[in-house]
Amino acid sequence: MSRCGRFHECLALGLLAVAVASGGVVAWRPWPHHFAEDGSSGEKNAALVAGGEAAALGESKKYEGSSEFVKLRYHMGPVLTANITVHPIWYGSWSPSQKHILRCFLRSISAPSAPRPSVAAWWRTVRLYTDQTGANISATVVLGAERSDRRYSHGRKLSRLAIQNVIRDAVAAPRRPLPVNPRGGLYLVLTSADVAVQDFCLTACGFHYFTFPAIVGYTLPYAWAGNSAVQCPGFCAYPFAVPPFAVGLRAAERPPNGDVGVDGMVSVVAHELAEMASNPLVNAWYAGEDPSFPTEIADLCEGIYGTGGGGAYTGQMLIDGRSGAAYNVNGVGGSKFLVQWIWNPYLSYCSGPNALDHQ
């Protein structure tokens, strides 16, 4: 996740950009970096893909983001070794079915009973990261108390700073406030499809940071992710939708839970949870020398969902035999999700439980 100023958003640093430097801030998005945002660049990059560049990038099964140039380092800050409790804050209008998809994903992170490849196995890569005592990130991630703001208390257009005001209202509510847990609490603000957030769909699909005591009263790790179904599905819900300039290059994949926006959010939420756990105060695990612009463990694998992924190719995903939907991990209750891979610090490439050499 990237930031603008002091705030974190998901970086769209392609792996080739990492090889050069962490120069300009280009926010993370799920669709491949070979597709540019403007029409002209999109046409140019589309030609590269059509010309076989994507195939060349996928020739090596071990390509998945592997790079000798990636210098991921530990900067001595804390990681989340205590049991993790995720507190969703539903801002705006959410249907029961949409909430069910995201809750199901969160409940799957520590559910060992799901079939392979599982969400829990995906989290095991996140758990490889340790603090200075050698303690690993916690294996226990549970769904905690929730809050809903159906009245759009801060309006339908939010600045990034306003996200902290939403959290403040949730932990300071006169009735059933969210518990304050600086050690293992993660506060997840989820905005509905009719809410515009600063830089959403322009440079960001989600971001994470920590709250300021002057606003919230506490320092708490938090993240935001938005439902892009109406505003920019091709930008933030790829590959369940494709950018307008990429239409014709490939067809959109069918979402595993039948909701393009929310199925796309699952990977953004996963991205931010992995980075909150490994870099909650922006002083633990990241690449680059500038903590204001870190490249984190999920940034390094943006757009990679399976073996061979990289460039303009998502990698080899699984296809549900009944629905035809694309996914790469199984969750509780027969659920399925598509989540991006995470940088493996021991193997020095992106890794996921659906890798062909894991089958």
Cα 278 to chain centroid, rounded: 13
The tokens describing 349, both together, are 């490439």
Angle at 332 between CA 113 and CA 176, to 5 degrees: 120
As a whole number of angstroms, the distance between CA 340 and CA 238 comes to 11
Instruction: Give per-residue pLDDT as tens, 69-115.
Output: 578 999 999 999 999 999 999 999 999 999 999 999 999 999 989 99
As a whole number of angstroms, the distance between CA 6 and CA 47 comes to 37
Cα-based distances in Å from 106 to 72, 118, 146, 264, 308: 27, 12, 13, 14, 27
Question: Which pTM value belongs to this model?
Answer: 0.83
- Our count of domains for the chain comes to 1
For residue 123, what are the domain limits? 2-358
Closest CA relative to residue 103, chosen from 143, 63, 130, 49: 143
**How does pLDDT run along the chain (359 residues), one tens digit per residue?**
443 333 333 333 332 233 323 322 223 344 333 333 333 333 323 332 333 323 322 222 233 444 555 789 999 999 999 999 999 999 999 999 999 999 999 999 999 899 999 999 999 999 999 999 999 999 999 999 999 999 999 999 999 999 999 999 999 999 999 999 999 999 999 999 999 999 999 999 999 999 999 999 999 999 999 999 999 999 999 999 998 887 677 789 999 999 999 999 999 999 999 999 999 999 999 998 888 788 999 999 999 999 999 876 899 999 999 999 999 999 999 999 999 999 999 999 999 999 987 65
Closest CA relative to residue 28, chosen from 272, 315, 317, 279: 272
Instruction: Give per-residue pLDDT as tens, 157-189.
Output: 999 999 999 999 999 999 999 999 999 999 999
pLDDT of residue 67: 53
